């Protein structure tokens, strides 16, 4: 009986991890497209979005910055991703390498990212993000 319980638990965990990975991909795509509706759908109203510079944005500011082109991601590659799910919370870590065009100025960035997701009914929503520059 214990083996059966563990098997069902592992299958459930794998399903949740795949859902979180899909949410991360949806966030990546929305950040590149700058689509405000997609960004709003994937993020929580209580979003705390921390930049490597120390700047913190709420959901509204995060979305507006991307929609306006003030922050413009041309390409985002994610690597070394880990996902841990505990109940309705997921912690994701990865390395983000991106080509940017912030306010029309081309650039690049490489960051270590920590994302905190919360499952709201059936959807995973980003509630917190913190970035640090790769040394």
Domains by residue range for the chain, with CATH: 2-133 (3.10.450.50)
Checking if the pLDDT of 60 tops 50, the result is: yes
Query: Percentage of residues in the chain with pLDDT exceeding 70?
Result: 91
Helices then strands, each counted (H, E), the chain: 3, 6
Confidence of residue 5 (pLDDT cuts 50, 70, 90): very low
13-17, 81-85, 96-100, 111-115 — which is least confidently predicted?
Answer: 13-17
DSSP H helices in the chain: 2-33, 36-42, 59-68
Average pLDDT (114-120) is: 97
Taking the C-alpha atoms of residue 50 and residue 19, their distance in angstroms, rounded to an integer, is 23
Share of the chain residues as helix, strand and coil, in percent rounded to the nearest 5: 35, 50, 15
pLDDT score recorded for residue 13 = 76
Neighbours of 132 (CB within 10 A): 12
Checking if the pLDDT of 99 tops 50, the result is: yes
pLDDT score recorded for residue 12 = 62
pTM of the model: 0.89
- Pairing type for strands 43-50 and 123-133 reads parallel
For all residues of the chain together, what is the average pLDDT? Answer: 92
Confidence of residue 95 (pLDDT cuts 50, 70, 90): very high
């Amino acid at each position: 009986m214990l083996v059966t319980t563990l098997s069902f638990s592992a299958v459930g965990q794998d399903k949740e991890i795949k859902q979180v990975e899909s949410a991360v991909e949806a966030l990546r795509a929305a950040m590149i497209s700058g689509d405000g509706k997609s960004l709003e759908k994937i993020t929580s109203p209580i979003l705390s979005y921390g930049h490597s510079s120390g700047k913190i944005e709420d959901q509204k500011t995060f979305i507006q910055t991307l929609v306006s082109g003030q922050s413009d991601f041309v390409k985002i590659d994610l690597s070394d991703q880990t996902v841990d799910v505990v109940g309705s919370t997921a912690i994701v870590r990865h390395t983000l390498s991106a080509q940017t065009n912030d306010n029309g100025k081309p650039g690049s960035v490489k960051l270590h990212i920590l994302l905190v997701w919360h499952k709201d009914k059936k959807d995973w929503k980003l509630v917190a993000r913190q970035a640090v520059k790769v040394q």
